[in-house]
């Protein structure tokens, strides 16, 4: 672990390591008033300092977290001085610090929030960003699908957290319930039918703890859809591509096409072109206002790669008697 990973929270708050809880609280309040985003609008340095102060106070104001932080500081110093080679198997009063590759991993675990990497034990983690402004500040488009009813009561003025959640097409189409760990918490999130990539799901009261209000912010989950082998989303519509043979294109045909509701029979008109789309109304993506979009079936004419002798003979006969020339109009093309 690099020495630069460790943050001295006592120095950040300007207190000694023996400071009382009241001294820590007073130091925090003084600094928080000075660096609060409302007092320093648009000042990125002040915003970063404010987050750092919040983090320091959240750790040092909790006796159990402060104890573990102090133990970690001892462990970090000993590693830096050459002790505990490799950082493996280090146990201090029943707490194994060697499972963390960085200080951030330790803090993310300690504070029960999403982190930028997983401890060496392999636990899944998520990226996150926070907002410490007014409720809803800095975010737009949240609650696209009525997600406001998910979770606990709101926490005005607290620190919001944003993370990503990956869904399959099936999960997003039908809606589902996802369970995952958030630090020491296990939370269930209901995903209504029709979520898309970029949709944000609000889970009230599951964000970071704000020492100033003694409340937790909200957790915003940004939906990311995993690619599907057949379907794609275009607005409220589902788009797919279906291969057809040259004779089906020329003569017309009835073909089976997969939809989210199962296979349906579609009639191809004679003379359909490659790239032309057929519309299946009401077979698309679920709409937030109710109902469904459409499914657009794009036709792709695919010639056979291998043919029997008889098939080749018939194609040669068609070529010999064919009267239609699709390139006749190109004779008039000039610069």
Convert the pLDDT of each residue in 78-93 to its tens digit: 655 444 434 444 445 5
pLDDT exceeds 80 at position 95? no
pLDDT exceeds 80 at position 18? yes
Annotation: CATH topology of 232-322: HSP40/DNAj peptide-binding domain (2.60.260)
Annotation: CATH topology of 126-227: HSP40/DNAj peptide-binding domain (2.60.260)
- Listed in order, the ranges of the chain carrying CATH 1.10.287.110 are 1-112
| Mean local confidence (pLDDT), 210-217 | 72
Of the segments 2-6, 101-105, 208-212, 314-318, which one has the largest average pLDDT value?
A: 314-318
| Per-residue confidence (pLDDT) for residue 142, from 0 to 100 | 31
Q: Quick count: other Cβ atoms within 10 Å of Cβ 47? A: 19
List, for residues 121-134, the tens digit of each pLDDT value.
333 333 333 333 33
- CB of 150 closer than 8 Å to CB of 204: yes
- CB of 161 closer than 8 Å to CB of 208: yes
Right CATH for 1-112 from 1.10.287.110, 3.40.720.10, 3.40.50.300, 3.40.920.10: 1.10.287.110
Residue 44 Cα distances to 37, 48, 49, 50, 321, angstroms: 9, 6, 9, 10, 75
| Least-confidence region, from 49-53, 72-76, 150-154, 192-196 | 150-154
Residue 325 Cα distances to 275, 276, 329, angstroms: 19, 19, 9
State the average pLDDT for the chain: 78
In this predicted model, which residue has the larger pLDDT, 142 or 294? 294
Query: Does the CA dihedral 148-149-151-154 come out positive or negative?
Result: positive
Q: Which two tokens stand for residue 131?
A: 């907002």
Binned at pLDDT 50, 70 and 90, residue 330 comes out as: very high
- Listed in order, the ranges of the chain carrying CATH 2.60.260.20 are 126-227, 232-322
| Per-residue confidence (pLDDT) for residue 76, from 0 to 100 | 65
List, for residues 253-308, the tens digit of each pLDDT value.
999 999 999 999 999 999 999 999 999 999 999 998 889 999 999 999 999 999 99
| Least-confidence region, from 91-100, 125-134, 218-227 | 125-134
Of the segments 32-36, 86-90, 127-131, 211-215, which one has the largest average pLDDT value?
A: 32-36
| Least-confidence region, from 20-29, 146-155, 248-257 | 146-155
List, for residues 231-253, the tens digit of each pLDDT value.
999 999 999 999 999 999 999 99
| Per-residue confidence (pLDDT) for residue 164, from 0 to 100 | 84
Tell me how far apart the alpha carbons of residues 51 and 9 are, in angstroms, rounded to a whole number.
12
């Amino acid at each position: 672990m690099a020495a630069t990973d460790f943050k001295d929270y006592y120095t950040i708050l300007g207190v000694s390591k023996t400071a009382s809880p009241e001294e820590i609280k007073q130091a925090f309040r003084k600094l928080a008033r000075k660096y609060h985003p409302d007092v320093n609008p648009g000042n990125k340095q002040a915003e970063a300092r404010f987050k750092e102060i919040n983090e320091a106070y959240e750790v040092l104001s909790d006796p159990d977290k402060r104890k573990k932080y102090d133990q970690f500081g001892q462990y970090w110093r000993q590693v830096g001085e050459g002790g505990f080679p490799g950082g493996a198997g280090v146990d201090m009063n029943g707490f194994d610090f060697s499972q963390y590759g960085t200080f951030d991993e330790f803090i993310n675990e300690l504070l029960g929030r999403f982190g930028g990497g997983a401890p060496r034990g392999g636990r899944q983690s998520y990226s996150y960003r926070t907002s410490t402004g007014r409720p809803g500040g800095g975010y737009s488009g949240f609650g696209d699908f009525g997600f406001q009813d998910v979770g606990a009561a709101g926490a005005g003025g607290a620190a919001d957290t944003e993370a990503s959640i990956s869904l399959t097409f099936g999960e997003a189409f039908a809606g589902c319930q996802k369970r995952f760990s958030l630090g020491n918490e296990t939370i269930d999130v209901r995903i209504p039918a029709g979520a898309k990539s970029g949709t944000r799901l609000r889970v009230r009261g599951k964000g970071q703890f704000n020492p100033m209000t003694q409340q937790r912010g909200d957790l915003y989950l940004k939906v990311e859809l995993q690619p599907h082998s057949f379907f794609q989303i275009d607005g409220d519509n589902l788009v797919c591509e279906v291969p057809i043979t040259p004779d089906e294109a020329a003569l017309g045909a009835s073909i089976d096409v997969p939809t989210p509701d199962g296979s349906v029979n579609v009639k191809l008109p004679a003379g359909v072109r490659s790239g032309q789309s057929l519309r299946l109304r009401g077979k698309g993506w679920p709409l937030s206002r109710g109902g469904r979009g459409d499914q657009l079936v794009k036709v792709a004419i695919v010639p056979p790669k291998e043919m029997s002798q008889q098939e080749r003979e018939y194609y040669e006969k068609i070529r010999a008697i064919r009267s239609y020339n699709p390139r006749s109009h190109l004779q008039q093309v000039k610069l």
